[in-house]
Amino acid sequence: MNSSEESAVSGMSAGRSAMRMGPAELVQAAAMARRFYLEGKSKIQIAEEFGVSRFKVARVLETALERDLVRIEIRVPAELDAERSDALRARYGLRHAVVVESPAEAQDSPDPENLGEVAADLLGELVDEGDVLGLAWGRSTIHMAVALNKLPQCTVVQLTGVYDAGTAERGSVEAVRRAAQVSGGDAHPIYAPMLLPDAATAAALRNQTGIARAFEYFDKVTVACVSIGSWDPGVSTVHDMLSDEEREHYASLGVAAEMSAHLFDAQGRRVGRDLGERCITVKAEQLRRIPEVVAIAGGARKGAAIDAVLRSGLVTSLVTDTSAADYLLAAGPAPAPALNRADPDGM
């Protein structure tokens, strides 16, 4: 069924009475259906108006559906796939799953830009006044911030350093500023690279006043937006920042995905934890405590990576596209529900 067209609850099924309704019955059924479906009246109110029992009203309404007198259509915008969205939400036990129909020319592209537009609308639903919104580095979160046009007043904090400090004005820092501007709240950007040469340099940067102030908000974040990368060139920020030797080392550990500089194997277990010591990023344990973590990621190339991160229990909601959704819906045994926030490592 194509959910962008319609889902109809109607028609006459086998085994149901094929008796014709007389004109009086038809008129009465139409009137009751109008009261119930269009005017919002209860069955008790309708029963009182027509001088019958509420049980008869229920039977008449059921018959009206069976005889095709009433058709109920559920319509969503053409770009949203409601059927896949609901299936994905149920499979992974997510709070929200939104699947977007991507343009044909973007089927093989990671994180099509229209994902950001839909994520911006979702964020408008999820964020309440006074919340603390956290944004991690990623193309999809940047697209989302650009598309924002309405957001309740909230504090916005950057959750990771940037891919390249020289692009801060066009990347995460600007995304944080944009979200804060739309909401009318305070912005707490991080002017630092995501990955540093060694743990000592990273520790020194974390202690700098501006960065330390942003880190103080990490435990207060109520809604977070993150991106997901697969372990491939051009699809993973971390992969592209490492040397060939480092990539081979982490690949040997079974890394299948990365999110906010945290690495995961195919079962959602964290690997290569030493990398985190060199990164400016929110801790995985802090992400797990955030009430709403929205991942924005799509494209067939990211299917396995999205599956791995969803299995980690760190993500509560997902915005993705049909090509990634099809992979996820066929990706082996269903994982533990994400809303359990269970840690696959048992730690």
Q: For residue 169, what pLDDT is reported?
A: 44
What one-character-per-residue DSSP string does 232-298 give?
STTT-HHHHHS-HHHHHHHHHTT--EEETTEEE-TTS-EE-GGGGGGB-B--HHHHHHSSEEEEE--
* 122, 243 Cβ separation under 8 angstroms: no
User: Distance between CA 298 and CA 322 in Å, rounded?
Assistant: 8
The pTM score is 0.76
**HSE value, Cβ hemisphere, 13 Å, CA-based, for 52:** 13
The Cβ of residue 299 has, within 10 Å, a number of other Cβ atoms equal to: 24
Q: What is the mean pLDDT of residues 225-250?
A: 84
Backbone angles phi, psi at 184, to 5 degrees: 80, 15
Q: For residue 127, what pLDDT is reported?
A: 96
User: Distance between CA 205 and CA 66 in Å, rounded?
Assistant: 68
**Predicted confidence (pLDDT) per residue in 5-20, tens digit:** 333 333 333 333 335 6
Q: What is the mean pLDDT of residues 201-229?
A: 95
User: Distance between CA 261 and CA 247 in Å, rounded?
Assistant: 13
Query: Following CA atoms 62, 66, 71, 72 in sequence, which dihedral angle do they give, to the nearest 10 degrees?
Result: 50
The residue written with tokens 């202690």 in the block is 207
Angle at 220 between CA 215 and CA 221, to 5 degrees: 90
DSSP letter, residue 166: G
166 confidence band (pLDDT: 50, 70, 90) = very low
Of 23-32, 160-169, 205-214, the range with the lowest mean pLDDT is 160-169
Mean pLDDT, the chain, rounded, equals: 85
**Bridge partners for 293 per DSSP:** 224
Backbone angles phi, psi at 229, to 5 degrees: -125, 145
**Predicted confidence (pLDDT) per residue in 68-125, tens digit:** 888 876 665 557 888 899 999 999 999 999 999 876 665 555 667 789 889 999 999 9
pLDDT score of 345 more than 80: no
User: Distance between CA 126 and CA 262 in Å, rounded?
Assistant: 25
And the tokens for 267?
Answer: 């079962």
pLDDT score of 237 more than 90: no
And the tokens for 86?
Answer: 């609901």
172 confidence band (pLDDT: 50, 70, 90) = confident
Angle at 125 between CA 188 and CA 322, to 5 degrees: 100
pLDDT score of 64 more than 80: yes
* 296, 284 Cβ separation under 8 angstroms: no
* 256, 271 Cβ separation under 8 angstroms: no
pLDDT: which is higher, 108 or 316: 316
